[in-house]
Amino acid sequence: MNTSLFEPKAKKDLWYKEPWLLLVVGGPLVVVCASIATGVLAWQGSDKVVAEDYYKQGLMINKDIQRDAKARALNLSASITLDLAAAKLKMQLSANEKLPETVQVSLASSGGKSSSVTEVIRRLPMKQIQPGIYEGDLNSISSLSLNSVKLLHVKVETTEWRLTADWFDPEQRLVHLTAAK
């Protein structure tokens, strides 16, 4: 006779202990968890717009290009040092022509360690104290805290020309600015 009729039936595992279930459900479950984790990381670490008036800055690009060309034509160059003890910003400026009595220095830094990155721009008027030597008082921009700032974007400008550069570690080094090419 057929012995398979008399053999006891094999005991089946419960549905959640079935190894095939891990293969069928496990893969998509891992993908869903990974996409949720990626979404959370993207939301928390998303980049913000650096400048609030980016549209205005885009419209001004042609004027900035003309000002850079004028700085090249004048062969402008500058060196800026920071004197924290005297709370002064000192600059040596050279050009092919006579220099103006005052120039404006803009110091831009990022807004610190918060999750929203904002660019803080401080404008400092600098007066000529000797031919080619300018000085500005840092006390006039009291919100500038250089203890935590490691990078400043510096812009020296008049209505006709401008010089720009990035200033790494302003407490330790001076910065050289030349006309953009």
pLDDT, tens digit (0-9, with 9 covering 90-100), for 73-114: 999 999 998 887 788 889 999 888 888 888 888 888 765 554
Per-residue pLDDT of 45-64, as tens digits, reads 877 766 778 888 888 888 88
What is the structure's pLDDT at 148?
60
Per the domain annotation, does 1 fall within a domain? no
Co-location of 22 and 60 in the same domain: no
Domain encompassing residue 127: 54-178
Report CA-CA distances (Å) from 98 to 61, 89, 95, 127, 155: 26, 21, 7, 14, 20
pTM of the model: 0.59
Q: Would you say how long the chain is, in residues?
A: 181
For Cα atoms 172, 177, 179, give the angle at the middle one, nearest 5 degrees.
Answer: 165
Number of domains the chain contains = 2
Query: Using CA atoms, how far apart are residues 53 and 32, in angstroms rounded to an integer?
Result: 38
Distance CA 93, CA 83 (A): 17
Q: Is the pLDDT of residue 36 over 80?
A: yes
Higher pLDDT, 146 or 132: 132
Please check whether residues 140 and 59 belong to one and the same domain: yes
99 and 30, same domain (yes or no) = no
Instruction: Determine the Cα–Cα distance for residues 28 and 63; give it in Å rounded to an integer.
Output: 55
Residue 84 inside a domain? The answer is: yes
pLDDT bracket for residue 116 (50, 70, 90): very low
Angle in degrees, CA 167, 87, 163, rounded to 5: 35
181: pLDDT strictly greater than 90: no
What is residue 145's predicted lDDT score, i.e. its pLDDT? 60
- In this model, does residue 171 exceed pLDDT 50? yes
Are 40 and 94 in a shared domain? no
In whole angstroms, what is the distance from residue 50 CA to residue 142 CA? 23
Geometric angle at alpha carbon 160, from 158 and 166, rounded to 5°: 55
Look at residue 109 in the predicted model and tell me its pLDDT: 74
Residues 66 and 38 in one domain: no
Residues 124 and 65 in one domain: yes
Nearest Cα to Cα of residue 134 among 142, 143, 124 = 124
